[in-house]
Structure 1
Amino acid sequence: MRARMSLRKSAAKGILGMQAVEAYVGSTTLPHAVRELVKLRVSQINGCGFCVDMHAKDAQRAGETDERLFSVAAWREAPYFTDAERAALALAESATRIADNPEGVPTEVWDEAARHFDEEQLAGLVVAIAAINAWNRMNVTLRQPAGAAM
């Protein structure tokens, strides 16, 4: 499998902008584990093999356990996640599947996330969710293969 094109070549300025968004998210106090779990779960939902592969590896390098990585797709039923991580995953799923609910992101999902994260962390979480959705859409559209350089 080969990617249809290279955005690093054809849209270098756009990729720099996306990297700036990622730098912002990384500068917030949102816990690294939450960022990686959210990126992995959203990428699973969107069917982005490139991002699933990359974020699972990034999380492993950061010390994430195999049990948690293997269970993130079934986080509601798995005992490995904190209440804060569950709230972040619920927000990520709801924001990713925004068209599935006439309310968009339900108030109870937002309120649960707001119970666990301060305003800076929530802002970082919202931006992280939006960014990984954008990355997924680019990579799926371009058929970027897992394990390949972008």
Structure 2
Amino acid sequence: MQQRMTNPTKILPGVAQGFQALVKAIQQGGGVPQTVLDLVHMRASQINGCSFCLDYVARSLKKAGETDERLFAVAAWRDAPYFTDAERAALALTEVVTRLDPADPVPDAIWETASRHYDEKGLGAIVYMIAIANLANRVNITIRQVAG
């Protein structure tokens, strides 16, 4: 597969800085561990099939000391013993927000579970991280951004 064009983040003035500022605000303002934010990004990228983002976030997690067992099991987080209840809540929220089922886009039960593990700032950070991951996925998939 060949990349269709240069990533628009590199060619549109201000986009990279705005994207980086938003990610920094999410990381610093929400009080959510970086590992959780990265797992959220990874799960959204798996659902959307973004190889570039999957490669990027897996490398970041591995560099931060994440285990292979956890990385390999993100897609099956419900059945894998490697995740905390707080991580599971963030991953469940990631799935429903990424898929947005028209019948019930974000079920109350999933929101309430996440609310037990994260305060408003933390929830805000997770929701924005899900949105950022989905934005990056859609750009990278559209232009066929090459992984690696």
Equivalences for 1:1-150 in 2 at 5 Å? Answer: 1-6=1-6, 7-28=8-29, 29-98=31-100, 100-147=101-148
Determine the C-alpha separation between the residues in 1 that align with 2:10 and 2:136: 16
Determine the C-alpha separation between the residues in 2 that align with 1:106 and 1:59: 29
CA-CA distance at 1:60 after TM superposition: 0.6
CA-CA distance at 1:88 after TM superposition: 0.2
When normalised by structure 1's length, the TM-score is 0.93
Determine the C-alpha separation between the residues in 1 that align with 2:13 and 2:146: 19
Determine the C-alpha separation between the residues in 2 that align with 1:122 and 1:40: 17
CA-CA distance at 1:18 after TM superposition: 1.5
Determine the C-alpha separation between the residues in 2 that align with 1:18 and 1:124: 14
Q: RMSD of aligned C-alpha atoms?
A: 1.1
CA-CA distance at 1:101 after TM superposition: 4.1
List per-residue Cα deviations over 1:58-94 (Å, max 9, x = no partner).
0011111110000000001100000000000000000
Determine the C-alpha separation between the residues in 2 that align with 1:12 and 1:45: 30
How many residue pairs were aligned? 146
Q: Percent identity?
A: 51
When normalised by structure 2's length, the TM-score is 0.94
The one-letter code of the counterpart of 2:19 is M
List per-residue Cα deviations over 1:82-126 (Å, max 9, x = no partner).
00000000000000000x241210000000000001111111001
Determine the C-alpha separation between the residues in 1 that align with 2:58 and 2:13: 25
Segments ≥4 residues shifted beyond 2 Å: none
Residue 130 to residue 53, structure 1, CA distance change in 2 (3 Å): same
The one-letter code of the counterpart of 2:43 is R
List per-residue Cα deviations over 1:8-57 (Å, max 9, x = no partner).
33223223222211111111311111011111111000000000000000
Determine the C-alpha separation between the residues in 1 that align with 2:13 and 2:132: 16
Show structure 2 runs of 5+ residues with no match. none
Show structure 1 runs of 5+ residues with no match. none
Contact 2:10 2:16 (8 Å CA) reproduced? no
Determine the C-alpha separation between the residues in 2 that align with 1:58 and 1:105: 28
